[in-house]
Structure 1
């Protein structure tokens, strides 16, 4: 465990807990903010999670973290929904997001820009197609998945 990242360890511990709870593990974050460390676990399910889902997963995961004790310093555990602008990380996230509004940020500019806000038209593991508005005209762009720095659902008018 010494060479594993905290997020990888927590993900491995959390997976059976979230599966038993009937929810999906979206993301695990471990970061320092000010003088405090935060372990954030984001869960979701069809129709969204509620406070009972978050509380149940939090209690179970807290017990497992106490048992295994993989984090040497103190931290705050937070279990919550990823929100309306959930990150797209796994292929399944992208497939589910086809037809939805997305915000894509690239590592380097393509067609003179690093960000694309639009509708995800298609996805495969090599590329995704986005329809976006450039000035006043709708345009389509094919983005190589290898160039995507981050992607999330987008709530915009």
Structure 2
């Protein structure tokens, strides 16, 4: 199972192949105007390297963006060779019900519902769901159903993800410049299209080069 980790400015506190790959590809993606949301390596015989990315300007990521990232990341991994043997590269956008992997994600999506799981119990439990209250160096903060608040240390987060709700979809549509249903004008000259809910993906076969 892939490790869950936070990708912020300092990667030195993280270990493992995913963090090494993130450190290798981050400068290239930053130069192209992208940010890493998550890196995961799945499988053994022919592992799949999954890269989840955002546009640095906050605009909607497209299939063309994923293709550009795929070519750039593939070139870096071919040269640096962090993975022995053959591998496959998969690039995707974060999607609407995206994972919360960085402090900025917890801050950006404050007020929306999320679920999370930790490696070591916090207040006697491992799984949580509630309203995102923000985040800082101490961890991500949630308000639970009973009204209590909890801080989930990033070092112990196994996974955290937004819960798909109408409010979240409306927020995503507004970010994409699309008026949510019910708010659009009714004039025949005005058309409205739903914000993308899927994830653009590009797969690139890779092979170790000698």
TM-score after normalising by structure 1: 0.78
Deviation at 1:39, TM superposition (A): 0.7
What's the C-alpha RMSD, in Å, of the aligned pairs?
A: 2.5
Structure 1 equivalent of residue 130 of structure 2: 118
Instruction: Tell me, in whole angstroms, the C-alpha distance in 2 between the residues paired with 1:7 and 1:73.
Output: 16
- State yes or no: 1:142 paired with 2:150: yes
Instruction: Tell me, in whole angstroms, the C-alpha distance in 2 between the residues paired with 1:147 and 1:28.
Output: 17
Q: Deviations over 1:58-82 (max 9, x none)?
A: 1111122222222211011111112
Instruction: Tell me, in whole angstroms, the C-alpha distance in 1 between the residues paired with 2:91 and 2:19.
Output: 16
Contact map agreement 2:115 2:129 (CA 8 A) in 1:
yes
Instruction: Tell me, in whole angstroms, the C-alpha distance in 1 between the residues paired with 2:157 and 2:17.
Output: 24
User: Structure 2 unaligned runs (5+)?
Assistant: 1-14, 167-210
Bigger strand share: 1
Residues 39-118 of structure 1: matches in 2 within 5 Å? Answer: 39-45=49-55, 46-106=58-118, 107-108=120-121, 110=123, 113-118=125-130
Q: Work out the number of aligned pairs and report it.
A: 148
Pick from 2, 14, 19: which aligns with 2:30? 19
Contact map agreement 1:103 1:153 (CA 8 A) in 2:
yes
Deviation at 1:57, TM superposition (A): 0.8
Residue 74 to residue 102, structure 1, CA distance change in 2 (3 Å): same
Contact map agreement 1:18 1:57 (CA 8 A) in 2:
yes
Instruction: Tell me, in whole angstroms, the C-alpha distance in 1 between the residues paired with 2:164 and 2:53.
Output: 19
Q: Which portions of structure 1, spanning 4 or more consecutive aligned residues, are displaced by more than 6 angstroms? A: none
TM-score after normalising by structure 2: 0.60
Q: Deviations over 1:106-128 (max 9, x none)?
A: 33263x64322221124332254
Deviation at 1:100, TM superposition (A): 2.1
User: Structure 1 unaligned runs (5+)?
Assistant: none
The higher-RCO structure (CA 8 Å, 6+ apart) is: 2
